[in-house]
A and B are shown apart, each in its own frame.
Chain A
Amino acid sequence: MLKLKIKVKHLFALIVALGASFILLQLLVMPKVEVVVAKKHYEQGTANGKSELLQVIDASSGDDRWALIQQYMIENGSDLGTTSYDVIVGVETFYSNMVTSYPDEPHWTSEEKIKYLKDYLNGAPANGYLVRAAKQLALEYLTLGQTKNALGALEQTEQRLPRNLYNQSKELKLARARICVNADAFDAAERLLDELSLSSIPEASYLSDSIAKLKSQIVEQHNNKASSVSGTINRSDGKPMAGIGVFLRDSREVYHSLREDEPYLTMTDSEGNFSFKGVVPGSYVIYIGLSFDQIDGWTRPTKQDTEWIDIRGEENVTRNITLQRLIQIHSPVDEQVITGKTIKFEWEAVEGAAYYTLNGTLPIENGSVGSIIKDHIESNSIELPLETLYNAASGYSYTKIGDKDVPDPTTVLGYANPSSRFSWNVEAYDANGKLLTRSDGYRLNEKTMGHLPFFYLKEHTLTDADQLLLAGHMDDALLKYQADYERNEQDPHSLRMIVKLLGIKATENKQPLGADSIPYLEKLAGVDDNGNTLSSLIDYYGRIGNWSQVDRYYDMLNEAHQGKVPSYTQAQYGRLLLKQGKVQEGEEMLRQAQENDPSNRFIGDYIASVIYTSGNFDKAVGLANLYPERSYYGQDNPDWSKLVHGMSVESQGPNKESYFSKLQEALQGCFSGDQGHTDDWIDEPAFASMKAFITAVSEVD
């Protein structure tokens, strides 16, 4: 057997060596293991993860320590940027990154961040992280109301930065100036901005832009009549929402996603309060930034057109935001299959709700298209005939069949497709029509997930025409539907599909609905109690100038909506009245539409009709100021006040006598859609303002 010969003294030496290496392991290797384990626990969000990581940070020193603080505090920390929130909630829009790294990471408290960031600023080497650390520390101080400390941290860091980080030091100075402005320390802010302006700053850069914006904010705020927007964000259970990002966004900016250089950014304090001072006149809307924890199971109830804040100067606007609990839905849920002729929707009752709106969605390739199934439901459950769903206006999406983009047949079939998985949601409104809460939103844990809002409708059996449609043969399907309908005029499904397919065809040919569609539309209008077909008929007869039919179908529509015609249709009817020369009636209809329509999208038409009938530019300017046009989809909304003002000045010029009659002539052409005969004189420079106004009116849609 293999034997080892060893002297006692050598054995002793061996044991000593082993002991020493064990001690070394304890001192050098185990701490490293400890660091790795603590990091992992923190990232996974285990119970002690945070305290373990803090212990590790406390125990480490030098570069290791700075690296840990960089990685776990600064990198994912917030310096009031837009990237530091999980979800940006706009108006009926939600934006979040679809992939989240380390979703379970715990959050640092203000005390923790202040302690370690202060340490970092004093000791860590001067690099880009130092600037971020300073801004984050300043933010923590600001949320605690410690403005002086915030300024101190930024200034101290600025002094520490070496010359090669010159640009970063400017950024810190700008951050200080911004804090000074918000704290009403205008002299200090101006001094800082002057210092910045003196240093070489490239023109039209982010920095020069920001300096200009801050300077105009100071001017605005210096003026005692400056406007402000403030408010409180809390939850309906009374909990104040601290540390929420609040973004006051200009109507000219909302069409794009939130950017860092937008001037009005802040964060709620521990009581949930926020405020913006020195707000320049304009139209604004508030976006908020939240963490997943804060939005999970809750919603910010907003409707697009009711959220605008119009600042005309000298106003102190208060806008509070209350997050509401999502409505829980009861039935149909969890992929329930409906085979009967009716479907019963049921959901949790909402306190204070006067009525509910039920929406359905059809699945499409990357998401869903939704539409209203039933409006003004007064109880928290309703049993509907499936016909109501089949008749609901539903959009359609495009899909690729072969190498061609075609309307996706499953969406064209809508609720009549037995293999589609539909979903639904509900909104609750109070008696004033204000949205209270909704059932769709962020549902990120077991408790908030609730039931899945999916169901199948398998009452309808696919016809041969449906099969043709699903196979992508749209023209053949249309012929088959038409043949089916001729055979049986009591077949609402074929009728609906004919109207839908003719509509799609017209859209594809970029043509309005043709005369051949009208008999079908009129038949469908007789059986569809939603009134969806009527707007198409009004549009058609308006286009061909058959005014008696227009009036007839508008009356029917009015009846279908029990006198509550949607403002969009009201305005369209008003425009048709203008078109047929009934300017006074048109003006009245547009006035009513304007009262019901917070979007102000038809204000141009209304103002034009007012000017036409009264010739009163001052009244028109007043209306333009009262109802500024703004939109979520673009930045070039006409400034009606400016346009009318321009005409008002122009009308006092050399053409004073004939100006108004010329304007009426031009407007008439504009209303009737026939501007040919005004073209000659309107191009003259003396009518430049009138031309600008007429062009803007003709572009209203």
Chain B
Amino acid sequence: MRPEQEQELIRTKLEEELGEMHFLKSAEVVARTHPRSLWAKLRAVWNYELELPLISIGASFAVLVAIVFVTQLEEKVDKAEPTRNLPRAERQLVEAGGNTYWKDDYEKAVDDVEVKNQS
């Protein structure tokens, strides 16, 4: 069989088999690949697939989140400047030489005079 005949045969066969099927969305496909209306253009953008470098994006995002969080917290904490560095949840009294002192103040004062007396 000549090649032309063979081609003709396959084509006939195909047409027989696919004769029942019709491609209906040709217009849609064309509209997608070559959008003409605004709506179509927008949809194209909406579905556009971006390719982003994961590491740099992730890193910059993390930095951003951190900055936001820290500034939020600082704003609250800085509102009132603590009058002293250590939080004093508990303080002890001590009786010494007939007086009653706060233990931390007393120990500091004794250390101070001992340093002074030695020098």
Which residues of A line the B interface, CB within 8 A? 1-9, 11, 22, 25, 30, 33-34, 37, 40-41, 43-49, 52, 94, 96-104, 334-335, 337, 359, 361, 367-368, 370, 423-425, 439-446, 449, 452-454
**CB atoms of A99 and B80 under 8 A apart:** no
**CB atoms of B97 and A454 under 8 A apart:** yes
CB-defined contacts of B49 to chain A, threshold 8 Å: 5-8
Question: Which one of A33, A94, A449 lies within 8 Å of B73 (CB-CB)?
Answer: A33
CB-defined contacts of B68 to chain A, threshold 8 Å: 22
B18 within 8 A of A: no
**CB atoms of B109 and A94 under 8 A apart:** no
Interface stretch, picked from B7-15, B21-29, B31-39, B50-58, is B50-58
Interface residues in B66-119 by Cβ distance below 8 A to A read 68, 72-73, 76-77, 79-84, 87-102, 105, 109-110, 113-114, 116-117
Asked, given contacts A8-B45, A100-B91, A100-B93, whether A443 binds B99 with beta carbons under 8 Å apart, the answer is yes
Assuming A7-B47, A103-B90, what are 4 further A-B pairs, CB within 8 angstroms? A40-B87, A46-B83, A47-B80, A101-B90
Question: Which one of B47, B54, B110 lies within 8 Å of A9 (CB-CB)?
Answer: B47
CB-defined contacts of B83 to chain A, threshold 8 Å: 44-47, 104
CB-defined contacts of B95 to chain A, threshold 8 Å: 367-368
CB-defined contacts of B88 to chain A, threshold 8 Å: 44, 102-104
CB-defined contacts of A370 to chain B, threshold 8 Å: 98
**CB atoms of A6 and B55 under 8 A apart:** no
Residue of B nearest to A34 (CB): B76
Question: Which one of B47, B87, B91, B93 lies within 8 Å of A8 (CB-CB)?
Answer: B47
CB-defined contacts of A445 to chain B, threshold 8 Å: 105
Which residues of B line the A interface, CB within 8 A? 45-55, 57, 68, 72-73, 76-77, 79-84, 87-102, 105, 109-110, 113-114, 116-117
Give the distance to chain B from A350, nearest Cβ to Cβ, in Å.
17
**CB atoms of B97 and A444 under 8 A apart:** no
CB-defined contacts of B117 to chain A, threshold 8 Å: 334-335, 337
CB-defined contacts of A440 to chain B, threshold 8 Å: 97-99
Give the distance to chain B from A303, nearest Cβ to Cβ, in Å.
16
**CB atoms of A4 and B101 under 8 A apart:** no
A-B contact pairs, 17 of them (CB 8 A): A4-B52, A5-B50, A5-B52, A6-B50, A6-B52, A7-B48, A7-B49, A22-B68, A99-B91, A102-B89, A103-B90, A104-B88, A335-B113, A368-B95, A368-B98, A443-B100, A445-B105
**CB atoms of B57 and A4 under 8 A apart:** yes
Question: Could you tell me the distance between the alpha carbons of A217 and B58 in the complex, rounded to whole angstroms?
Answer: 80
CB-defined contacts of A48 to chain B, threshold 8 Å: 79-80
**CB atoms of B89 and A361 under 8 A apart:** no
Asked, given contacts A6-B52, A449-B109, whether A46 binds B98 with beta carbons under 8 Å apart, the answer is no
CB-defined contacts of A3 to chain B, threshold 8 Å: 51-54
CB-defined contacts of A101 to chain B, threshold 8 Å: 89-90
**CB atoms of B97 and A361 under 8 A apart:** yes
CB-defined contacts of B45 to chain A, threshold 8 Å: 8
Question: Could you tell me the distance between the alpha carbons of A11 and B51 in the complex, rounded to whole angstroms?
Answer: 11
Give the distance to chain A from B41, nearest Cβ to Cβ, in Å.
13
Give the distance to chain A from B118, nearest Cβ to Cβ, in Å.
10
Question: Could you tell me the distance between the alpha carbons of A33 and B92 in the complex, rounded to whole angstroms?
Answer: 30
Tally A-B pairs: CB < 8 A. Answer: 145
**CB atoms of A452 and B109 under 8 A apart:** yes
Question: Could you tell me the distance between the alpha carbons of A33 and B74 in the complex, rounded to whole angstroms?
Answer: 11
Asked, given contacts A9-B46, A444-B101, whether A103 binds B91 with beta carbons under 8 Å apart, the answer is yes
CB-defined contacts of A453 to chain B, threshold 8 Å: 97-99
**CB atoms of A30 and B53 under 8 A apart:** no
Question: Which one of B47, B82, B92, B98 lies within 8 Å of A98 (CB-CB)?
Answer: B92
**CB atoms of A43 and B89 under 8 A apart:** yes
Question: Could you tell me the distance between the alpha carbons of A48 and B76 in the complex, rounded to whole angstroms?
Answer: 12
**CB atoms of A2 and B100 under 8 A apart:** no
Residue of B nearest to A455 (CB): B97
CB-defined contacts of A11 to chain B, threshold 8 Å: 50
CB-defined contacts of B101 to chain A, threshold 8 Å: 443-444, 449
Residue of A nearest to B48 (CB): A8
Question: Could you tell me the distance between the alpha carbons of A52 and B80 in the complex, rounded to whole angstroms?
Answer: 9
CB-defined contacts of A9 to chain B, threshold 8 Å: 46-47
CB-defined contacts of A454 to chain B, threshold 8 Å: 97
Residue of A nearest to B52 (CB): A4
Residue of B nearest to A421 (CB): B97
Question: Could you tell me the distance between the alpha carbons of A244 and B9 in the complex, rounded to whole angstroms?
Answer: 117
Question: Could you tell me the distance between the alpha carbons of A228 and B102 in the complex, rounded to whole angstroms?
Answer: 39
Give the distance to chain B from A658, nearest Cβ to Cβ, in Å.
58
Asked, given contacts A33-B73, A43-B89, A45-B83, whether A2 binds B53 with beta carbons under 8 Å apart, the answer is yes
CB-defined contacts of A443 to chain B, threshold 8 Å: 99-101
Question: Which one of B55, B80, B89, B91 lies within 8 Å of A46 (CB-CB)?
Answer: B80
Question: Which one of A7, A25, A46, A102 lies within 8 Å of B82 (CB-CB)?
Answer: A46
**CB atoms of B113 and A37 under 8 A apart:** no
CB-defined contacts of A45 to chain B, threshold 8 Å: 83
CB-defined contacts of B87 to chain A, threshold 8 Å: 40, 43-44
**CB atoms of B97 and A37 under 8 A apart:** no
Give the distance to chain A from B95, nearest Cβ to Cβ, in Å.
6
CB-defined contacts of B110 to chain A, threshold 8 Å: 335, 452
Question: Could you tell me the distance between the alpha carbons of A52 and B76 in the complex, rounded to whole angstroms?
Answer: 10
**CB atoms of A8 and B46 under 8 A apart:** yes
**CB atoms of B57 and A441 under 8 A apart:** no
CB-defined contacts of A2 to chain B, threshold 8 Å: 53-55
**CB atoms of B55 and A1 under 8 A apart:** yes
Residue of A nearest to B49 (CB): A7
**CB atoms of B99 and A442 under 8 A apart:** yes
CB-defined contacts of B98 to chain A, threshold 8 Å: 359, 361, 368, 370, 423, 425, 439-440, 453
Give the distance to chain B from A33, nearest Cβ to Cβ, in Å.
6
Question: Could you tell me the distance between the alpha carbons of A334 and B96 in the complex, rounded to whole angstroms?
Answer: 13
Give the distance to chain B from A215, nearest Cβ to Cβ, in Å.
41
CB-defined contacts of A41 to chain B, threshold 8 Å: 80, 82
**CB atoms of A47 and B81 under 8 A apart:** yes
Question: Which one of B50, B79, B90, B97 lies within 8 Å of A100 (CB-CB)?
Answer: B90
CB-defined contacts of B114 to chain A, threshold 8 Å: 335
